[in-house]
Amino acid sequence: MPDKNARALNKAAIRAFREIPAAARNTLTVDKSKEFAAHAGLSKALTIDIYFARPYHSWERGLNEHTNGLLRQYLPKRVPFNTLTQKQLDSKTA
């Protein structure tokens, strides 16, 4: 996201989550950063419940932390995922 603000996050999240079937979208657990200031609108647009993890309680966002760990085994931080091709991704997991 070019801007780390609530409006930009909501727009990007709505676009990304619409690709997931509604039956698979139940909840979202986020941290208490300013990007989630408009969480009520996001919750309504996606028809999901949004929960906030307590600061320094990364285990409350277990799937997120686990997935980040798996990704970082192959792709270092700051790698822009939108620049990777499927061929590059396939070679990282082979």
Read off the pTM: 0.62
- pLDDT by residue for the chain (94 residues), tens only, comes to 677 899 999 999 999 998 899 899 888 888 888 899 999 999 999 999 999 888 877 777 777 778 888 888 888 888 888 888 888 888 875 4
Q: What are phi and psi of 78, to 5 degrees?
A: 75, 5
Q: Which residues contact 27 (CB under 8 A, 6 or more apart)?
A: 48, 49, 50, 51
Does residue 16 lie in a domain region? yes
- Inside any domain, residue 1: no
Provide the domain limits for residue 72.
6-93
Residue 31 lies in a domain: yes
Residue at 81 is within a domain: yes
Domain assignment of residue 82, yes or no: yes
Q: State the pLDDT at residue 93.
A: 59
Question: Is the residue at 32 inside a domain?
Answer: yes
In angstroms, the CA 77 to CA 71 distance is 9
Domain count, the chain: 1
Per-residue pLDDT tens digits for 4-28: 899 999 999 999 998 899 899 888 8
